[in-house]
Amino acid sequence: MKVPTEVLLLAALLAPGAALEPPQSSTQSFSCDATLLMRYAFDDPANPGIDSVSGNSAGLSGAIAVQNSYAVFNGGAVRLEPLTVLEGDDITFTWWMRPLSNSGSRNSFRIGRNGNEGRIQWYRATEWVPYMKTPSSEWVYESLDPGMIPFDSTTWSFVAWKIRASDGLWSITVNESEVFRGVKIAVHPKTYDDEWHHIGSIDTFSYWGAQDDFRIYRSFLSDAQVAAVRAGGPASACLNQTPPPGFKYQKRVTKVTTTMSMPLSVEEFTVDAQLEYRETVAAVVGVHVDQVNIVSVTAG
């Protein structure tokens, strides 16, 4: 006689992209992100400036601390790994920010020495101003609505600044809205690595507040890829690929727990039957089969 088998499953899903909260601590491999140049997740309080791509720990200056899987800047800075931009490279910067001080000018990040060609910077004076310098050190910038990123202790904003090499197009997204799109200037090809190459700042443009999950991609991310980054995952989906050895999915998950009766005995619920069941659940829920775990089987 067949005894219905109750199966309790746990499906791990990426958090919804609409949630305006930064991603939490992650052990997920980003091997799918072929164009990811660097990522500072700020997950480890003991190594606030570790780069998840190179694995190197960056230098810290001034006051910075990691709490709740994000960085808190009190006028400090994190030294970035060297950034090499090749001829024809598209570039995308993405990060979460929760600034607290709107007095004076404040750098979210700055790449390139003051006055040098190709300098890249996102800061706030009276408006939010992303800008770069040409090889002749002329400023190219865009003044954005000062209210689009609020200054308070609870509101996070996700920013994506995409720069296309072929025509110098800039596309800037805040949360889920494109706030600017226009032709400006491409990133100047060179290796950026000097004392000003950092997240935050330690000069008169010091940043005060929180930042999280700072990334640089050597690509002009699509809207779907930006949404994936905002959700905390890699820009490129791994769901239809076989995960490489050692691949781990993101820790921050939404747990879906169900109990289902099946016309199988416990003995008949073999490895093959379990795999077929997990594949069915994965297809319905929309995750990789490796994200579905059967945590208990009992005879009903």
Query: How many residues are there in the chain?
Result: 300
CATH code for 36-230?
A: 2.60.120.200
Q: Residue 300 — pLDDT band, cuts 50, 70, 90?
A: low
Q: Residue 142 — pLDDT band, cuts 50, 70, 90?
A: very high
More confident call, 233 vs 205: 233
216 pLDDT above the threshold of 80: yes
Residue-level pLDDT at 67: 85
pTM: 0.73
Residue-level pLDDT at 299: 66
Cα–chain-centroid distance for residue 254?
18
| DSSP per residue, 222-243 | -HHHHHHHHTTS-SS--TTSPP
More confident call, 137 vs 257: 137
More confident call, 203 vs 38: 38
pLDDT tens readout for residues 43-73: 888 888 888 888 888 788 878 888 888 999 9
**What residue type is 182 in one-letter code?**
G
Span of 125-129, 169-173, 197-201, 268-272 with lowest mean pLDDT: 268-272
More confident call, 205 vs 97: 97
Q: What's the mean pLDDT when you consider all of the chain?
A: 80
CB 102 within 8 A of CB 206: no
Residues 150-171: what's their mean pLDDT? 94
Residue-level pLDDT at 98: 93
Q: Where are the alpha helices (DSSP H) in the chain?
A: 223-230, 271-285
- For residue 74 the two structure tokens come to 């009190």
Q: Residue 12 — pLDDT band, cuts 50, 70, 90?
A: very low
Residue-level pLDDT at 243: 44
117 pLDDT above the threshold of 70: yes
Cα–chain-centroid distance for residue 49?
15
pLDDT tens readout for residues 234-287: 998 665 444 444 444 443 344 556 666 667 776 777 777 777 777 777 666 556
Rounded to whole angstroms, how far apart are CA atoms 141 and 121? 9
